[in-house]
Amino acid sequence: MTTASKGLFAYFLSLIGLDRVTHSASFLKNAAPSLQASSSSASFMTESTLVVNGSDVYDEKGRNNLTTMAYDAWSLQTMLSNLPKIALCSLLTSTALKYPKVMQMIANEQPATWMLPKDDAQDYVRETQAIKDQARRVVHSLDGLRPSEQFARETEMAQELQRVVRFSTNTLHASPQGHSLVALVALMCVAKEGLCALPEVSKYIFGRAHLGRLLVLEMAGVLKNYKASHTLLAQWPNLLSILDPPKAVVAAADPADQLAWLMDVLSEVCAQMHDCDRHWAFGQEYENVVNIAARNCRLVAH
């Protein structure tokens, strides 16, 4: 079975408490196809769509070897997260009873644990970098297209970015190993990639598709329910580097100086998103999230 399929299976088990939440950056890279692979907006998958290659599914007689299904990791993650836990249990149980190899895979999974592995901070960095890379691919998927083609695919690009935002929060904050500061950095990466897009694309993303509203609400959510741990300290400079700070900031001996720089960047990003979305009745949320961050952000739990 491929690495991507194993990663997907581990994630599926984690949703119903049978395994710890694990989302590897390699899983995202291998399983999530680029938006550029879509030939038209008609082939774009919605959050409730799962595309399966007919040659890869089981027939009624079963097969000796597990095969790989074609799926969009972002769409599938959103779909599974929205299912009731009882539905997930029923689906997994019926599948395990029908296919003994699935039962064996469940038996081989590691038991759930609330302890963080030693390399968990490195996982934070890998996941955040993977999210940034995905956001960049999506944002620049329209580069080089004719204006009419860009217009036809703007909606699918915005929907894909929304999935990246939700995936960031679910992966880096909602899990037991989640960390609010890591989730905030990932969301800031998505925002910065959108703001650095072509002017007409950026205007659509934040002015008409209102991605900024989703971003600031997600930011506020992860900051109000603040999660922190000591495991991030060793990898904090590497995580901060994903935002392309000045070398002096990365080399700063006092993490407080680095957090102050992060707050300045967050303030600038939120101001730029607000400038693109002046007609939102709750526009003060762009400023509020900066105040919440300044009040709550810390590297370790108190």
Tell me if 143 sits within 8 A of 198, measured CB to CB: yes
Q: Backbone phi, then psi, for 46, in 5-degree steps?
A: -85, 175
The pLDDT score that the predictor gives to residue 91 is 73
Q: Which two tokens stand for residue 201?
A: 């694309």
Task: Report the SS3 class of residue 262.
Answer: helix
The pLDDT score that the predictor gives to residue 149 is 85
Apex CA 144: angle with CA 278 and CA 45, to 5°?
70
Cβ-in-10-Å burial (0-12, 13-18, 19+) of 55 comes to exposed
Tell me if 76 sits within 8 A of 8, measured CB to CB: yes
The pLDDT score that the predictor gives to residue 71 is 42
The pLDDT score that the predictor gives to residue 255 is 86
H/E stretch holding 57: none
The pLDDT score that the predictor gives to residue 72 is 53
Q: What are the C-alpha distances in Å from 62 to residues 89, 100, 169, 252, 264?
A: 21, 10, 37, 59, 57
Tell me if 32 sits within 8 A of 74, measured CB to CB: yes
The pLDDT score that the predictor gives to residue 46 is 35
Q: What is the pTM (predicted TM-score) of this model? A: 0.66
The pLDDT score that the predictor gives to residue 13 is 56
Q: Split the chain (302 residues) into runs of 10 and give each run's mean pLDDT.
A: 53 50 43 39 34 38 39 59 68 74 65 43 88 94 84 90 93 88 97 94 94 97 91 87 93 89 97 96 96 88 53
The pLDDT score that the predictor gives to residue 127 is 92
Cα distance between residue 209 and residue 205, in whole Å: 5
